[in-house]
């Protein structure tokens, strides 16, 4: 009976852990043991007394703060100081940039699904929808991406239209002459343009992302806003932002670009200003920019400002035409013809009021940049990635239906069906992630960690989707020309992967490194307590941390043993997936804490482990986004299959990421413990089944409405235009011919017709009276359209030699 009481006490511990409670669980377990002794104490009073004594001691130590502080706080202070990572000033600024949102729910080990379920993503306003239907459609019709690639520039008429319709002022409020669009409006405009021309999309997105407009809007003086924002909105000023240099790429804060405070002549007057020297590269729009945003380190060696000599990273606006500026040369980023190039400044003198925000913002440039990137990473490159993914989905869905081999559409072959499922599923989860992240931005959040996830994992998703699309198109995908839209997307992939924080850096250092401190309920408090040498704060944070680790470990173990069924989740079709995500949230919290506890400050240098933890965090977020999308959209079969594919993929990749962490922890005892807690019954999650993959692939092959819905953001050209336009027209004809082709196949199976290829079978069917003249003409139109869209571009010798 005593063993039964102990078992009940353990179950009580687990039950309280499932609910996230800490010292209350010890109190409840102690109560159970005490009641057991009252009833059955005579059975083994000595053993029970020992257990009771241990339980009381543990409850007192963990639940009575004055005793804890007296016993541990003073001795633990130096130990924690050595174990916790040291954070430099630039790291601190980056960590403090933006806000935490759903990422904190994942780190909590107990995500509040009601919060996500009731969150509403802002739809496009009527004005934004009208802009999409009119100005954006007009722009897309003006763009010929193949010709832009050959000319290496956009036509002047396109530049004029972009400026006149204020495409460069989407984020600038209407009071300054901009469009004042929401973040989702901004994102969807870029997505549609990207589906037509990557070069045009990059040209539009840069002034609306990390650049002078964004920085002026949040940090500029009133005078600067009144002077520059209207000119940026209508294109009289074309901006660029010079951050990256030869010596400072990933570590942009290490810039050697400098400004020296001194007096000098500016526009005929002697003023207090800065003499700037810089060397920057990879600067988008630099060759055509009229206004340069510049990040540099400002120094005051002569004490003219009356403070320290090194004033820190500062941002300023520099007119292009000042003496000492070299600008106008071009880089060639993978052949994608958007303006990108270096800029060099030597002894360029500007007044102090060129500093964004004026003198008050001297030394705050790094904070400006980090806070702007926190939002900017969520929009531009994810939008471009979704444009490419949706375009690949639309093209491959049509092509795999129209293109036939062995008298069968290639989409019917399982070898093609497999990448088609990945294309459709990844497009669904990528679009969902974009929508949820922009929804958070429109709600006033600045989710730095989630923005980094959106940038890194959506651009990686673009790489995966376009690679699969290239494989499906096969030979037609590697012949450049007006017909081949995919080739230009393929060339642009490394651009998205690399800029605004290369994905290797973002995955291995930024996402988890920032998330573990910002989103964890206790880590930042621990670091602060040690820095302040506050024993009371250290005690509260440390034992809160210990309690958190213990309860999440018990929660993860209990959910693993019960197949996640004890986790609360929204009722509905996806309830089991929500429950599994709750389990993985607890497992992630425990494995994350175990990694930090055993590796301490060295975790910063164990980038393979932190990269896998970033994978686990990212896929949990993307799964939540996909399921949120399903909850918010009409409950149709195709959406259900896409949401299940997304969730199953995310759960499997989360599992594999956590397994990778546990298998590579240097502390083998910790590794063993983690495997027992997280996977006591083994790693049981698998990728989506073949059957589910088949249904997802059929979504973009056979379900026209689902295919259009999945690719709703892209531009669809006229039917006579090479590429998607002709594919869509051919698809319509092929679909109309399907009943006739089915009739002929039935006739072959019934023995009314002999088996024959292509046009020969059409003739035989007409002669045998199996099909009518009208049906024959329908088949003929479909075959001609098929023949046209499977052709590739070929050039005469002179034209070929002139191709870029």
Distance set, CA 224 to CA 215, 216, 288, 320 (Å)? 11, 7, 22, 17
Measured CA to CA, the distance from residue 362 to residue 352 in angstroms comes to 9
Measured CA to CA, the distance from residue 511 to residue 103 in angstroms comes to 10
Burial, 517: exposed, middle or buried (Cβ in 10 Å; 0-12, 13-18, 19+)? buried
In 3D space, the residue among 425, 760, 443 whose CA is nearest the CA of residue 623 turns out to be 425
Measured CA to CA, the distance from residue 61 to residue 72 in angstroms comes to 10
Instruction: Give Cβ neighbours of residue 279 (< 8 Å, ≥ 6 apart).
Output: 245, 246, 256, 257, 342, 344, 345
Neighbours of 211 (CB within 10 A): 24
* Unique residue bearing structure tokens 């922890």: 665
Measured CA to CA, the distance from residue 588 to residue 511 in angstroms comes to 14
| Terminal-residue alpha carbon distance, the chain | 84
Instruction: Give Cβ neighbours of residue 469 (< 8 Å, ≥ 6 apart).
Output: 392, 395, 396, 419, 423, 477, 486
* Unique residue bearing structure tokens 């030597």: 346
* Unique residue bearing structure tokens 């980090």: 370
Kindly state the tokens that stand for 32.
């159970």
Measured CA to CA, the distance from residue 616 to residue 560 in angstroms comes to 17
Distance set, CA 736 to CA 399, 402, 721, 724, 731 (Å)? 15, 12, 21, 18, 9
Total count of residues recorded for the chain: 804
Residues 756-761: contacts with CB under 8 Å, at least 24 apart: 757/407, 758/407, 758/783, 759/783
371 is catalytic: no
Query: CA 752, 754, 759: angle at the middle one, nearest 5?
Result: 115
Measured CA to CA, the distance from residue 223 to residue 205 in angstroms comes to 25
From 500, 728, 741, 775, active-site residue: 500
Measured CA to CA, the distance from residue 273 to residue 271 in angstroms comes to 6
In 3D space, the residue among 278, 398, 343, 466 whose CA is nearest the CA of residue 730 turns out to be 398
Kindly state the tokens that stand for 45.
């009073």
Range 61-82 burial, b when 16+ CB lie within 10 A, else e: ebbeeeebbeebbeebbeebee
Q: Are 55 and 62 in contact (CB under 8 A)?
A: no
Measured CA to CA, the distance from residue 515 to residue 773 in angstroms comes to 67
Burial, 145: exposed, middle or buried (Cβ in 10 Å; 0-12, 13-18, 19+)? buried
Kindly state the tokens that stand for 486.
């995919």
SS3 assignment, position 341: strand
Measured CA to CA, the distance from residue 370 to residue 400 in angstroms comes to 44
SS3 assignment, position 176: helix
Distance set, CA 181 to CA 139, 167, 706 (Å)? 18, 10, 28
Burial, 160: exposed, middle or buried (Cβ in 10 Å; 0-12, 13-18, 19+)? exposed
Measured CA to CA, the distance from residue 469 to residue 394 in angstroms comes to 10
Measured CA to CA, the distance from residue 707 to residue 428 in angstroms comes to 11
In 3D space, the residue among 114, 100, 113 whose CA is nearest the CA of residue 582 turns out to be 113
Burial, 271: exposed, middle or buried (Cβ in 10 Å; 0-12, 13-18, 19+)? middle
Q: Which residues are catalytic?
A: 500
């Amino acid at each position: 009976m005593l063993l039964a009481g102990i078992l009940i006490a353990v179950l009580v511990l687990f039950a309280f852990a499932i609910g996230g409670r800490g010292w209350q669980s010890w109190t409840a377990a102690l109560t159970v043991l005490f009641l057991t002794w009252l009833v059955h104490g005579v059975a083994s009073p000595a053993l029970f007394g020992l257990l009771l004594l241990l339980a009381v001691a543990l409850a007192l130590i963990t639940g009575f703060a004055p005793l804890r502080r007296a016993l541990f706080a003073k001795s633990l202070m130096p130990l924690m100081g050595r174990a916790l990572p040291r954070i430099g000033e630039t790291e601190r600024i980056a960590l403090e940039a933006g806000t935490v949102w759903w990422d904190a729910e994942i780190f909590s080990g107990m995500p509040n699904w009601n919060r996500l379920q009731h969150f509403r993503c802002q739809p496009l306003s009527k004005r934004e929808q009208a802009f999409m239907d009119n100005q954006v459609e007009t722009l897309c019709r003006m763009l010929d991406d193949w010709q832009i690639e050959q000319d290496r520039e956009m036509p002047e008429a396109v530049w004029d239209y972009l400026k006149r319709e204020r495409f460069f002022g989407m984020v600038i409020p209407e009071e300054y002459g901009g469009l004042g669009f929401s973040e989702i409006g901004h994102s969807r405009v870029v997505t549609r343009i990207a589906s037509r021309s990557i070069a045009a999309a990059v040209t539009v997105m840069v002034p609306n992302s990390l650049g002078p407009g964004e920085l002026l809007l949040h940090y500029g003086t009133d005078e600067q806003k009144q002077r520059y924002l209207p000119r940026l909105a209508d294109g009289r000023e074309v901006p660029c932002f010079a951050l990256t240099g030869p010596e400072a790429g990933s570590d942009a804060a290490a810039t050697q670009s400098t400004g020296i405070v001194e007096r000098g002549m500016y526009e005929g007057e002697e003023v207090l200003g800065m003499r700037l020297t810089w060397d920057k590269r990879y600067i988008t729009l630099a060759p055509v920019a009229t206004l340069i945003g510049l990040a540099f380190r400002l120094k005051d060696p002569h004490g003219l400002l009356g403070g320290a000599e090194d004033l820190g990273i500062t941002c300023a606006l520099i007119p292009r035409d000042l003496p000492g500026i070299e600008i106008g040369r071009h880089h060639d980023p993978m052949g994608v013809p958007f303006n990108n190039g270096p800029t060099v400044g030597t002894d360029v003198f500007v007044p102090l009021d060129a500093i964004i925000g004026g003198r008050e913002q001297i030394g705050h440039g790094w904070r400006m940049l980090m806070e702007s990137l926190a939002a900017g990473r969520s929009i531009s490159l994810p939008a471009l990635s979704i444009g490419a993914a949706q375009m690949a989905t639309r093209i491959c869905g049509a092509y795999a239906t129209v293109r036939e081999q062995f008298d069968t559409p290639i989409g019917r072959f399982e070898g093609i069906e497999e990448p088609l499922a990945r294309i459709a599923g990844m497009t669904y989860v990528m679009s969902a992630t974009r929508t949820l992240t922009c929804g958070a931005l429109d709600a006033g959040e600045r989710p730095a960690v989630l923005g980094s996830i959106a940038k890194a994992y959506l651009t990686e998703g673009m790489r995966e989707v376009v690679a699969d699309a290239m494989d499906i198109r096969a030979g037609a995908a590697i012949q450049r020309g007006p017909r081949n839209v995919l080739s230009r997307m393929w060339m642009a992939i490394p651009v998205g992967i690399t800029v605004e924080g290369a994905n290797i850096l973002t995955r291995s250092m930024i996402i988890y490194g920032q998330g573990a401190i910002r989103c964890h309920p206790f880590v930042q408090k621990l670091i602060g307590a040690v820095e302040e040498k506050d024993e009371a704060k250290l005690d509260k944070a440390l034992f809160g941390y210990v309690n958190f680790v213990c309860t999440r470990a018990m929660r993860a173990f209990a959910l693993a043993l019960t197949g996640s069924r004890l986790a609360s989740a929204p009722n509905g079709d996806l309830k089991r997936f929500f429950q599994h995500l709750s389990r993985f949230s607890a497992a992630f919290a425990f494995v994350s804490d175990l990694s930090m506890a055993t590796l301490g400050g060295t975790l910063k240098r164990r980038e393979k482990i932190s990269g896998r933890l970033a994978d686990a965090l990212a896929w949990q977020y993307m799964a939540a986004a996909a399921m949120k999308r399903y909850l918010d959209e009409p409950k149709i079969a195709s959406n259900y299959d896409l949401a299940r594919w997304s969730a199953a993929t995310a759960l499997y990749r989360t599992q594999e990421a956590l397994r990778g962490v546990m298998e590579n922890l240097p502390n083998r005892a910790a590794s063993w413990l983690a495997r027992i807690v997280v996977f006591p019954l083994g790693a049981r999650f698998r990728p989506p089944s073949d059957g589910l993959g088949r249904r997802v692939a059929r979504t973009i092959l056979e379900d026209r409405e689902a295919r259009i819905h999945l690719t709703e953001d892209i531009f669809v050209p006229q039917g006579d235009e090479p590429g998607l336009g002709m594919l869509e027209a051919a698809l319509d004809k092929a679909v109309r011919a399907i009943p006739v082709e089915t009739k002929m196949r039935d006739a072959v199976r019934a023995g009314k017709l002999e088996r024959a290829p292509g046009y020969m079978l059409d003739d035989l069917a007409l002669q045998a009276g199996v099909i009518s003249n009208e049906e024959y003409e329908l088949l003929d139109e479909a075959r001609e359209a098929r023949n046209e869209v499977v052709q590739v571009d070929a050039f005469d010798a002179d034209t070929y030699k002139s191709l870029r």
